[in-house]
Amino acid sequence: MLVSIPRWIARLPLLVAACTAPAILLEAQPGAPLLLSQLTWFDRTGRALGTIGTLADHGNIELSPDGRTAAAAVNDRELGTHDIWMYPTSGGTRTRFTSDSTDENWLIFGPDSARVIFNSFGPGRLDLFQAPASNSAGRRVLLDDAVAKWPVSWSPDGQHLLYVTSTPDTGNDIWVLPLTGDRRPFPFLNGPESENWAAFSPDGRWVVFSSTATGRSEVYVTGFPDGGGFGQISETGGSQARWRRNGEIVYLAPDRRLMAAKMRVDGNEIELLGVEELFAITFPYGSYHAFDVTADGQRILVNTTIVSPDSPTLTVSNEVPATASRVP
């Protein structure tokens, strides 16, 4: 059986054994910590439907609004930095979007799926770039200052970017960068607590975000751009919220369960109708988006841990359930 192993994995001191059963045995040697994950589709009950791409050390993941592409930050173990790779969700070969010596670890798509915004960290550089989704060579600088920052949500009308900053004084804060006019950034949520994981509502009038105001991370909704109204969504903690087009907010509970909050949004009025538990997920990094949801809400893409330093010897099945179809 032939198994596609990325070139950088082949250079690691691993034992890769092809067995008669459809599985691979990966065994990391002492002193060589290994982390591999697989982009995996699930339905809302947690049933695996198939996979995208190869095993890699994936970080943040993001689906394009049209559902055709999954972007993932992939760790280069030799350089200790990330590059962005694009995975076609319908199958086919992934393509490398960035290949710099700098660290690009976060990318979001514009509402038309044709443009992207991503960060780039390097010596003396903490930039945000905009580029065509097809070619990073066409990039242009959106914001260049001395503050670490991550783009997290692009407004549905294309006019505003939400991004998260990190400073010694207030930790994580949420800022707004207008994409027209004078393009002068301004703070949206920058209290003494940590605010993070922001996402616009489908109509652009509301923002879901996480805050540690209660002493732990909880999910909240507030108005945009004034930052007023409504309140808390989660009850026992939450982060990494995604706001779907039908108004549903999917977020991650502290015990790694995905939760779905059904919202009623009517102009300036918003109401929480109820919260449903979906299923628990396994993912490698809490500091990156571990999942994303398709527009219809029926499939969830999860950055699923396959091999980690805590379990360096693991049998990895190449099979998907007989009732599911594999997504290459």
pTM of the model: 0.85
Closest C-alpha to 175, from 183, 165, 166:
165
Q: How much of the chain exceeds pLDDT 90, in percent?
A: 74
Distance CA 88, CA 65 (A): 13
Q: What's CA 19's distance to the chain center, in Å?
A: 34
Q: How many helices (H) and strands (E) does the chain have?
A: 1, 26
Contact yes or no for 238/229 (Cβ under 8 A): no
* Rounded mean pLDDT, 46-54: 96
DSSP letter assigned to residue 254:
T
pLDDT of residue 2: 34
DSSP assignments along 295-315, one per residue: TTSS-EEEEEEEEBTTB-EEE
Interval 76-105: pLDDT, tens: 988 899 999 999 999 889 999 999 899 999
Sign of CA dihedral 281, 291, 39, 327: positive
| Structure confidence by residue, pLDDT tens digits, 224-278 | 999 888 899 999 999 999 999 888 999 999 999 999 999 998 878 899 999 999 9
pLDDT score at 33: 63
End-to-end CA distance of the chain: 16
Confidence (pLDDT) at 285: 95
Give residues with Cβ within 8 angstroms of 153, minimum separation 6.
Answer: 108, 161, 162, 198, 199, 200, 207
- Quickly state the pLDDT bin for 314 (edges 50, 70, 90): very low
Is the pLDDT reported for residue 24 higher than 70? no
